[in-house]
Amino acid sequence: MTTIQGINRVFLLACAPFVGMLIWLLFVTASIPIHPWSTAPAVPVSFQQESSTLDSLLTKATTDAAQTKTIIQKYFELYEKSTAEVTAALQSATAQVTKPGIIYDARITAKLGSPIRQASSGNIDLKLFALSENNYKGYALKVNLKSDKAIKLVLGKDKMGSSETTLEAVSRYGAIAGVNAGGFADDSKGKRYPLDTTVMNGKYLNGFFPTKNDTIFIGLNKDRQLIGGKFSSQADLDKLNPLMGSTFVPTLLKNGAKATIPYQWQSSPARAARTVMANYKNDQLLFIVTDGYDESGNSGATLAELQDKMQQLGIVDAYNLDGGGSTTLVMGGSVINRPSDGKLRPLATNFLFFK
């Protein structure tokens, strides 16, 4: 047997099973039963019935919506009514709260008379009054500080050792008004320094000086409330949270009662131009300046007379600032009082007021 014949036999043997399967498929018939889809019995549909049902549901929905709208409107009306009532109640309560303050302010203002000048802004309310007493004439500046921006204590030309008049300070800062502040001391070179303890922006400019020779500190705390008196230590003054202030002498009123005036200040001079810083129980300030025609001690007010006047005005605390030729009140760009030197004196410190 040749090689080719052997190969043919191998292929024949390999194909034999497949040929047998093909012959079997040709003679065998297989069938797979397929069952028909099962169907539910048909239910007749009435479009008229469905339409009626939908109409009924729509009618009910419309009715429910109308009722809901009515309820919402009633609640809204009730809400508006309640809001109006609450607003009215709050306005009434606010009016009741502020009413005593308004009455008190009207009462203390009436004692001063009618203002001859006034200025008002979101920061400050200023009212200027003329004072005409038997023995002296002067002015009262009522001040309501409404913000921290309303008042400053400033150095002359903003430098230690420098000085300027109150009018110059007002003009330089663009202030609406100004009043002279504490005392001063001159050195041998002619430089003018604030007397003893001076505080600006919560800082001690030249350290703390304990009270001596009846000197007092006069200023405002960080709540814009008047503070003043004698202090033996810085710790005592720090308890009052000083924001600004200067030094002079003496205390005139404390809690509405007259303070004892040191003997020297009762007679030397007896009368003079004066500057006083005081407050009411609602923390509004009152600055009083009196005219003095010279430094002889024969014109102006005595400190005792000012004590009487301030008690009549309802003042709580009052302190004497530097007076004589230093006394200066400026408002609206002009000098209000009559300086006793015949001209404005350059000062170490001034209180300025801003709109």
On whether the CB atoms of residues 322 and 182 are closer than 8 A, the answer is yes
Question: In this structure, is the dihedral angle defined by the CA atoms of residues 26, 28, 29 and 30, taken in order, positive or negative?
Answer: negative
Q: Report d(CA 163, CA 155) in Å as an integer.
A: 7
Pairing of strands 274-279, 317-321: antiparallel
User: pLDDT (tens digit, 9 = 90+) per residue, 223-236?
Assistant: 999 999 999 999 99
User: pLDDT (tens digit, 9 = 90+) per residue, 270-315?
Assistant: 999 999 999 999 999 999 999 998 777 789 999 999 999 999 999 9
User: pLDDT (tens digit, 9 = 90+) per residue, 169-221?
Assistant: 999 999 999 999 999 999 999 999 999 999 999 999 999 999 999 999 999 99
pLDDT for position 18: 66
pTM of the predicted protein model: 0.75
